[in-house]
Copies of this chain bind each other. A is one copy, B any other.
Amino acid sequence: MRVLLVEDDELLGDAVRTHVARLGNAVDWARTSEDAENSLAAARFDLVLLDLRLPDGHGLDILKGLRARRDATPVIIMTAHDQVSERIAGLNAGADDYLVKPVDLGELQARIHAVTRRYGASVLPEVSLGGIRVYPSERRIVGEDGRDIGLSAREWALLDRLLSRRQAIVSKAQFEDALYEFGAEVESNTVEVYVSRLRRKLGRDVIETVRGLGYRISPHV
């Protein structure tokens, strides 16, 4: 697996690179935004480990650029402990997960596994839901008429969560965690609203309600 590490801190960068390399990966280490952009332009990576604080710009722009180009390469961001807003911004911009500095290498490993597993699972053959085809790796879904159906970030987050274990029931609380990862408990029906919107786009029967417990992908689609 090829990993791009974007980190200006020499000490942390070295520790992470060594650790990730030991897991059997090829690691490119970019110290600056410019380095990172060049690397991303030159090659395909299986994972990006992204420090948001860089000397020559904001790492968030790198992430946004990726997603703007419809590049779904998994990105794990690394932020300082107290930079909650950064973390949220990162997740909103399309990061797959985050790590809090100081980075615990065991946790890093777990996150990498989790993210790449999620990615690997979804990158496998595309999923069919009724007449809809889903290409999670390209963040694209196509309707029966062959036309692209646009999903927003939140809608994707929900669908991802449902698809990650198709037979499992996902509770609203879990959705909220997946959607917000952090921050105040949202006392609202946001999840219901998104389920409703997804249903409108994917078809009424794709998402099944399990009253009192949550939602799941219907086994019959």
Q: List the B residue with the shortest CB-CB distance to A135.
A: B167
Q: List the B residue with the shortest CB-CB distance to A68.
A: B106
- Chain B residues near A173 (CB-CB < 8 A): 98, 100
User: What mask results when residues 177 to 221 of chain A are scored 1 for a CB within 8 Å of chain B, else 0?
Assistant: 100011111000000000000000000000000111100000110
Q: What count of chain A residues pass the 8 Å CB interface test?
A: 39
Name, among A98, A104, A107, the residue most crowded by chain B CB atoms within 10 Å (CB to CB).
A107
- Chain B residues near A167 (CB-CB < 8 A): 138
Name, among A94, A168, A182, the residue most crowded by chain B CB atoms within 10 Å (CB to CB).
A168
Q: List the B residue with the shortest CB-CB distance to A153.
A: B212
Contacting pair B110 A148 (CB below 8 A): no
Cα A104 to Cα B183 in complex, Å, equals 24
| Other-chain residue from B82, B168, B183 in contact with A185 (beta carbon distance below 8 A) | B82
- Chain B residues near A220 (CB-CB < 8 A): 148
- Chain B residues near A164 (CB-CB < 8 A): none
- Chain B residues near A82 (CB-CB < 8 A): 185
Please name the 10 residue pairs, one residue from A and one from B, whose CB atoms are nearest each other, closest first: A153-B212, A138-B167, A100-B173, A84-B185, A82-B185, A110-B213, A114-B168, A107-B213, A139-B210, A139-B169
